[in-house]
Amino acid sequence: MGSLPVGREDVERAERVIAGRLHRTPTLSCRTLGPNVFLKAELLQRTGSFKPRGVLTKLAALTSEEKARGVVAASAGNHAAALAFGAALEGTDALVVMYRGASEVKLRAAEAYGATIDLEATGPGDVFERLAELEAETGRVLVHPFDDPLVVAGQGTVGLEILQDVSGVERIVVPCGGGGLVSGIAVSAEDTDVEIVAVEPETSRALHAALAAGETTRVEARSIADGLNAPFAGALAVDVAQTHGVRAVLVTEEEIAEGFRFLYERAKLACEPAGAAAVAALLVGKVEAANTVCVVSGGNVATQTAAGILANP
């Protein structure tokens, strides 16, 4: 495992890089969930998710020559929009591998921000193979959605803001797909006693599988929480989880839907299913509620998807 390539000082550096370019999202009290429970509302971030934090941190480190080559990434949608947004700010060109059947809302958002979308992949399981092909063919610079120290450092700024805004926090509960967000937050809290909990769908358990195997391993990813449908957890996320004792928890599809309905109806937060995973774990008692912050990681959801979940309590 060795020493990690990202630490709290890298997260603090990322905080300076993105300062003034992104929102400092609110941390909202939610007493209905328990005493001293808060919601970190990353769905209110620019592009509708936490993803621009890591993207802008990565892009700021590129040379002029690298920016001239353009950038490439794979994404279920939120990273795509964030990369397109960031590329426009940095004056570079973005190509994003998505997959057939990906969220139309997220696909259209990425296009609206200026990305070129490649849809040759048939599903989440083969987007990274298509990404490797395009990276080799085009010479573009890879901006990985989760397995990159700069991206992880950028996502970790969510944790810094939580620690600055909430006194007495005992745990931070984080939706987890490829692991970039939860590992960044774990690094941001590395000198504290705060517990970090990763929440994954039972049907998309990349970090669970990796921790059980002792290394990153591929899984079938098929949750309604499409933002968590990573086919594997990043090697860096696995190392961080092992080093910093990240606890991993699984929630069912119905529990995610329950969390989604709660956030819409009680917290008035129009999240996406992935953004509801952390709250879901609290609602069903899989994570202790007191002195806890749940990250609501994104809000990019199709109207029909939201309506379908809300109509079936």
The three-state secondary structure class of 123 is coil
Is 128 in the same domain as 24? no
148, pLDDT greater than 80:
yes
Residue 103 binned pLDDT confidence (cut-offs 50, 70, 90): confident
1, pLDDT greater than 50:
no
Taking only the tens place, the pLDDT of each residue in 214-250 is 999 999 999 999 999 999 999 999 999 999 999 999 9
CA 4 → CA 59, 162, 197, 236, distances in Å? 21, 22, 19, 8
- State the helix-helix crossing angle for 8-18 and 180-188, rounded to 10 degrees: 110
Q: What is the pLDDT of residue 60?
A: 98
- Give backbone dihedrals phi and psi of 5, rounded to 5 degrees, phi first: -85, 5
Pairing type for strands 141-142 and 71-74 reads parallel
123, pLDDT greater than 90:
no
- As a whole number, the mean pLDDT across the chain is 96
At residue 54's C-alpha, the angle toward residues 51 and 24, to 5°, is: 70
Which candidate, 291, 226, 294, 225, places its Cα nearest to that of 263? 294
- Dist. CA 19–CA 11, nearest whole Å: 12
Two tokens, residue 88: 């426009």
Taking only the tens place, the pLDDT of each residue in 16-65 is 999 999 999 999 999 999 999 999 999 999 999 999 999 999 999 999 99
CB distance 174 to 181 below 8 Å: yes
Report yes or no on 191 lying in a domain: yes
Is 21 in the same domain as 153? yes
Is 112 in the same domain as 258? no
Q: List the CATH number of the domain containing 259.
A: 3.40.50.1100
- Dist. CA 114–CA 210, nearest whole Å: 35
Report yes or no on 1 lying in a domain: no
Is 166 in the same domain as 296? yes
What is the domain count for the chain? 2
User: Can you give the residue range of the structural domain that contains 166?
Assistant: 8-50+149-310
- pLDDT (mean) for 180-203: 98
Report yes or no on 274 lying in a domain: yes
Q: What is the pTM of this model?
A: 0.96
